[in-house]
């Protein structure tokens, strides 16, 4: 009985086995010993595996994530400030937050089973990370990093600026009671963020005690922006609209939404309302007609210019939401049993009707609440719906001004990513330095998440994958350590599609 070669095709590869026949006395028939020879190649047989893998690691998510960290200069910039092990720990913690939103005490468990443990060996124990965060927060490294990173990225478009509150269980003095909506019973800090508009790239953050209001943070931020990117316009929400802030902004290019509470702004609305809705003032913005007209006015000693807009679609949406909330408040009020004392009733009405109490007349008759609409107040509010004023310094058309301002929503989305995807709040750290260090890590993770989102959108992958779904798919791609070499396992069709599409998009 002669030995022969058997060929077996698996996943498109042709595997060869040496088959040696022998006589099985018990079964009384011929059987075969099989010996693996290798894979058929053009130049002969190549043995793919000589030993079993020593270790298997999660690999897929790190292909795009490490590419972003390297090509955007994050790794090389960190090299300027940290020794190799601390740099590796920062990259590992950044990746853990960006991919899995892991807290410090779970990073090591995750890290040990990933390709990071081979590519970026370091101590990622919670004790080491805590020490590292404290050292970062106690140093000027975050500011120096922003400066170096901004120089590397060279922001070329308008800067978007906003501020949010972050609640905490910490008892540290940096946390103060302010105006948090999500956790009103907790002290908070304020986090400001500056982003480049074109690439949705965060270039600067700062934290402030929770009691400091938005208008008080701008001066510090403007000084830092002037040092980083002095000639670029800044886009701000109406929360920053004040005479003091307008004076600070007068040497900058800017676009800011005007708040209606100022008498000068009310006059702009009232004196131009009839002329605004003219066919001569129509612009086409995103394939929709919007009324827009240029206005000049003054506040204090400042001469200002702006565009007054009337967006008919926005008015329809605002009107619908407004009346739904009023109706809900009236229905809830009439189902409520009145309290006995007058002061308690007033508090009860304000609590249930909220900001809509001024549009509802509520009385008590026969032991019940009765409501009716305050139609004059409602009409006055409706008269402003869909209408807004953007004040600017620079050279903008009405459409350009509106485009730039509406992109400020990207900062709000970035805050949402930090609060949900990156799980920033409620913070529990006790030291201000540790908090500042943690937010620096979250800032790096935010760069990764936003860059990944942009790459998904530009590649079209966002039509099939959310970012979290994409990471889960890539986590199935593993890499094996065999004879001291790292060998990637075969990619699935989905993994190939994802990595090929992402690779075609530049990181910067």
Query: Residue 272 contacts by C-beta under 8 Å, 6 or more apart in sequence?
Result: 293, 295, 308
What integer pLDDT is reported at residue 458 of this predicted model? 92
Q: What is the mean pLDDT of residues 446-471?
A: 93
Closest CA to 63 of 461, 492, 452: 452
Q: For 94-141, how does the pLDDT look when each residue is reduced to its tens digit (9 = 90+)?
A: 999 999 888 888 899 999 999 999 999 999 999 999 999 999 989 999
What's the confidence (pLDDT) of residue 180? 47
Among 34-43, 79-88, 336-345, the minimum mean pLDDT is found in: 34-43
CA distance 23 to 30: 5
Is the pLDDT reported for residue 251 higher than 90? no
Which of the residue ranges 23-32, 226-235, 374-383 has the most confident prediction, judged by mean pLDDT?
A: 374-383
The alpha carbon of residue 233 and the mean position of all alpha carbons in its chain are separated, in whole angstroms, by: 22
Angle between helices 375-382 and 312-334 (to 10 degrees): 150
Q: Please state the rounded mean pLDDT for residues 434-453.
A: 91
Distance CA 427, CA 435 (A): 8
- Lowest-pLDDT range of 41-45, 203-207, 233-237: 41-45
pLDDT of residue 45: 73
Lowest mean pLDDT among 160-169, 174-183, 424-433: 174-183
| Residue for token pair 């009107």 | 319
Condensed to tens digits (0 to 9), the pLDDT of residues 261-320 reads 899 999 999 999 889 999 999 999 888 999 999 999 999 999 999 999 999 999 999 999
Q: Between these two residues, 182 and 333, which has the higher pLDDT value?
A: 333
Helix (H, G, I), strand (E, B), or coil: what is residue 445?
helix
Per-residue DSSP letters for 13-64?
EEEEEEEEEEEETTTTEEEEEEEEEEEEETTEEE-S-SS--SEEEE-TTHHH
Q: Say if residue 158's pLDDT is above 90.
A: no
| Chain centre distance of CA 52 | 42
Highest mean pLDDT among 40-44, 93-97, 436-440: 93-97
Q: Which residue has the higher pLDDT, 215 or 410?
A: 410
Name which of 137-141, 190-194, 385-389 the model is least confident about: 190-194
- Which is higher by pLDDT, 218 or 314? 314
Q: Say if residue 170's pLDDT is above 60.
A: no
| Token couple for 474 | 């890539």
Q: Which of 2-11, 216-225, 421-430, 481-490 has the lowest mean pLDDT?
A: 421-430
Q: Indicate whether 1 pLDDT > 70.
A: no
Residues 232-246: pLDDT tens digits?
788 988 888 989 899
Q: What is the DSSP string of 88-148?
A: HHHHHHHHHHHHH---HHHHHHHHTTBTHHHHS-----HHHHHHHHHHHHTSSHHHHHHHH
Average of per-residue pLDDT values in the chain = 86
Residue 177 confidence (pLDDT) above 50: no
Higher pLDDT, 450 or 425: 450
Confidence of residue 183 (pLDDT cuts 50, 70, 90): very low
What would you report as the CA-atom Rg of the chain, rounded to the nearest whole angstrom? 31
Quick one: average pLDDT of 396-413? 89
Q: Output the CA torsion sign for 234, 240, 243, 245.
A: negative
């Amino acid at each position: 009985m002669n030995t022969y070669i058997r060929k077996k095709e698996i996943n498109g590869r042709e595997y060869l086995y040496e088959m040696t026949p022998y006589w099985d006395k018990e079964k009384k028939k011929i059987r075969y010993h099989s010996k693996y020879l290798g894979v058929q190649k053009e130049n002969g047989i190549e043995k793919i595996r000589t030993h079993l893998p020593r270790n298997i690691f999660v690999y897929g998510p790190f292909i795009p994530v490490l590419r972003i960290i390297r090509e955007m200069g994050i790794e090389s910039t960190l090299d300027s400030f940290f020794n190799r092990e601390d740099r590796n720990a920062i990259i590992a913690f950044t990746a853990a937050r960006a991919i899995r939103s892991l807290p410090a005490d779970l990073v090591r468990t995750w890290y040990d089973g990933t390709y990071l443990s081979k590519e970026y060996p370091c101590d990622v124990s919670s004790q080491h990370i805590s020490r590292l965060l404290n050292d970062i927060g106690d140093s000027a490294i975050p500011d120096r990093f922003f400066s170096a990173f901004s120089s590397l990225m060279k922001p070329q478009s308008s800067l978007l600026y906003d501020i949010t509150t972050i609640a905490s269980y910490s008892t540290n003095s940096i946390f103060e009671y302010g105006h948090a909506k999500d956790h009103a019973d907790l002290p908070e800090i304020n986090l400001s963020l500056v982003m480049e508009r074109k690439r949705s790239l965060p270039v600067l953050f700062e934290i402030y005690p929770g009691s400091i209001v938005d208008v008080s943070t701008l001066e510090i931020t403007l000084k830092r922006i002037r040092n980083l990117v002095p000639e670029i316009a800044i886009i701000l929400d109406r929360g920053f609209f004040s005479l003091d802030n307008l004076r600070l902004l007068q040497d900058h290019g800017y676009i800011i939404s005007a708040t209606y509470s100022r008498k000068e702004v009310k006059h702009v609305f009232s004196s131009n309302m009839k002329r605004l809705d003219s066919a001569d003032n129509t612009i086409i913005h995103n394939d929709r007609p919007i009324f827009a007209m240029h206005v000049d006015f003054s506040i204090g000693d400042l001469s200002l210019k702006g565009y007054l807009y009337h967006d008919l679609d926005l008015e329809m949406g605002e009107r619908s939401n407004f009346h739904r909330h009023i109706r809900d408040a009236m229905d809830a009020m009439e189902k409520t049993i009145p309290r006995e004392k007058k002061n308690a009733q007033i508090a009860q009405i304000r609590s249930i009707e909220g900001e809509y109490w001024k549009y509802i007349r509520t009385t008590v008759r026969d032991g019940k609440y009765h409501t009716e609409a305050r139609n004059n107040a409602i009409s006055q509010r409706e008269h402003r719906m869909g209408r807004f004023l953007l004040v600017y310094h620079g050279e903008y058309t009405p459409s350009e001004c509106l485009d730039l301002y509406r992109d400020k929503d990207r900062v709000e989305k970035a805050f949402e990513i930090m609060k949900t995807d990156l799980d920033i709040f409620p913070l529990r750290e006790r030291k201000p330095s540790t908090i500042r260090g943690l937010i620096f890590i979250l800032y790096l993770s935010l760069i990764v998440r936003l860059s990944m989102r942009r790459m998904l959108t530009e590649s079209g992958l966002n039509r099939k994958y959310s970012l979290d779904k994409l990471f889960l798919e890539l986590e199935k791609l593993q890499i094996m350590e065999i004879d001291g070499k790292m060998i990637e396992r075969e990619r699935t069709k989905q993994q190939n599609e994802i990595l090929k599409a992402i690779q075609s998009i530049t990181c910067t």
